[in-house]
Structure 1
Amino acid sequence: MVYMRDERFLMGIDLGTTTCKVAIFTIEGELIAIAGKEYPTYYPRPGWAEQDSWDWWSVTVGTIREVLGKSKINPDDIAGISVSSHREAVVLLDENDRPLDRVIIWFDKRSLPQTEWIKKNFDNWEICSL
């Protein structure tokens, strides 16, 4: 399909638990192109689950490039970008803004003893009011 020179588009980026998906839409919501790439999850010990933020970055950049190539759209014609990512992931950085280690992701179970202690010693209202 050929698009008008001054037409604008929207990009959605979904950084999910296992896959980065990127889609481009017209302003009216018509899907133009979609691409997705997986990244690994590491399990260094039983119950642990980690990912490398560099994997997130490189896969996201590669997926954006792929969807732009499929769509034949000039990146300058992207009017807006929406990003969603998997939850509760914190990337710790050093003084040079480089990741210190892999990221503990949401289904990691290493904090289960602390979670059980909190549930035993506090009710939901106390926790939510903090």
Structure 2
Amino acid sequence: MEFSYTILYVKDVTQSVAFYEKAFGLHQHFIHESRQYAQMETGSTKLAFASNELASSNLINGFQENSLSAQPAGIEIAFTTDDVDAAFNRAVEAGAISLVVPKQKPWGQKVGYVRDLDGILIEIASQI
């Protein structure tokens, strides 16, 4: 089995694609003509977005929507970079919500946390 993609459920797929391009420098792989699903280039594994409506249609009992007004869900996505401070600042300037400014961890990694437009928790870190 191969890990292929992660899907983030969002209010507005097109808005999320534009945000992730600006905040993290990602590039759109494709966006469906319905604007309900998209994928971003992130290496061998894709980062995808599906609208809350599409997610609801796939899940029998629904799900908890991501929201800035609620605590982050118990999951995060992580991006690694050689310049954590610059990447963190770029994300915040693009509209990400700063949670924890980058700090050096005891194991040598530098890590900061932001939330995206839908409240999804994002780690920006150096390689381990």
Please tell me whether Structure 1 or Structure 2 has the larger radius of gyration of its CA atoms: 1
Global fold match (TM > 0.5): no
Q: TM-score, normalised by structure 2?
A: 0.24
Q: TM-score, normalised by structure 1?
A: 0.24
Q: Between Structure 1 and Structure 2, which shows a larger proportion of strand residues?
A: 2
Q: Between Structure 1 and Structure 2, which shows a larger proportion of helix residues?
A: 1
